[in-house]
Amino acid sequence: MPGGIAAGVRIDVADGRITGVTAGAPRAGTVLAGLTLPGFANGHSHAFHRALRGRTHHERGTFWTWRERMYALAARLDPDSYYRLARGVYAEMVLGGYTSVGEFHYLHHAPGGKPYADPNAMGEALRQAAADAGIRLTLLDTCYLAGGIGVEPDEVQRRFSDGSAAAWASRVAELKEDAGFRVGAAIHSVRAVPADQLSEVDSERVVHVHLSEQRGENEQCQAAYGRTPTELLHERGVLTDRLVAVHATHLTPADIGLLGAGRARACFCPTTERDLGDGIGPARALRDAGVRLGVGSDSNAVVDAFEETRALELDDRLASEERGRFTAGELLEAGTDHAAVGWPEAGRLEQGAAADFVTVGLDSVRTAGIEPSGVLFAASGADVTHAVVAGREVVRDGEHRLVDRPETVLAKEIEALWQS
């Protein structure tokens, strides 16, 4: 709870909200044995990348060579197959401890860039997939206009582009929110949105952007604009307290200062950043500068809220050669920052907050004998025994109640995609 770990806690829920939290209460109602935490927030996901898991690990190369495999996958998806794949991915997320997800969505149109009859058919597929899997979804609808600075989109990238930021905004305006679905915005990167259109990508909720994930991005931005990507966003008025900088790996000290002064957020995706060889971002320096941190599963090479959250500390240990870079409280705050994806009412076990929480068993081979305060360093997503989202029990005794055998769903759909 906000005051720390307590025993014998009763959580009363009505209409998707927590109506009361009482410590030292007698057991009654649904008994959750273990340690109950606020649900985790997945700040950055590309659901369709899940189909690459275990299929690219053996390849040498860089992020840019991996991207070619990702583009080949993107070319195979349509609204129906995207729904089936995403439903399995979102079910895996709840099983792994997440109760909300920000989907960085740029796969908008049919092959060649032709709009579907419903221009938001792909986004609607994601909405339905999340609803059926029982997770809160913020569709971070992404503006993606260019194949690089001054470069037209290629054949695959035409699926991503609306042609202009104004056309992007017009399409996004047709999306309607509901109880479990919200709409945010995203700038794919300073490579994919021309500088003179950056300020046109906006949202009343949050605006996400891939920022300095690769050194090549920084070099291209410097060559074209004479500025770092962060400096360009600042110059164009995009760097505000609604901005979430995803990755934020290769930053200068000046970049860190600008992000802190703007009260921005940074979303680290450690398991993907490891998988792609991106590098280790300056998490502690950003936090010290006033930047609020969060985590995301990004490519979904790993879907495990505990692994992603503790990696903030463990990766920073590698970079600094020091231990104790973050307190357990700071890590939990980062892992449960639902405001970063437009759900500020979630992430706390207190009266009035959204009734989103997960229970971790303390009797597995991973958690047996630990101090409960060390759960983020010991548990994995496999230790989640129960998950409640908006007051509804989505996971019970480690089994997803809405999607039967998600592993079978994923295996079938991924195999079909690669055979198509």
Catalytically active residues are 247, 298
- Pairwise CA distance, residues 383 & 407, whole Å: 17
> In whole angstroms, what is the distance from residue 406 CA to residue 414 CA?
12
Beta bridge partners of 357: 38, 388
d(CA 247, CA 372): 30
Cα–Cα nearest to 281, from 254, 255, 249: 249
Distances 290 to 108, 266, 287, 347, 407 between C-alpha atoms, Å:
35, 10, 5, 20, 40
Beta-ladder partners of 208: 186, 244
Compute the CA torsion angle 14, 18, 22, 23 (nearest 10 deg). 130
Query: 311 and 16 in contact (C-beta within 8 Å)?
Result: no
Contacts with 28 (C-beta within 8 Å, 6 or more apart), sequence order: 10
DSSP 105-117: E---SSGGGPPPS
CA-wise closest residue to 211 among 177, 259, 170, 166:
259
Distance of alpha carbon 400 from alpha carbon 394, whole angstroms = 6
What tokens appear for 153 in the block? 């989109």
- The region that residue 324 occupies, defined by phi over 0 for left and psi between -120 and 50 for alpha, beta otherwise, is left
Give the C-alpha separation, 132 to 47, whole Å. 15
**Separation of alpha carbons 23 and 33, rounded Å:** 15
Site of tokens 């908006």: 390
Structure token pair of residue 366: 């991973």
Closest CA to 326 of 313, 317, 308: 313
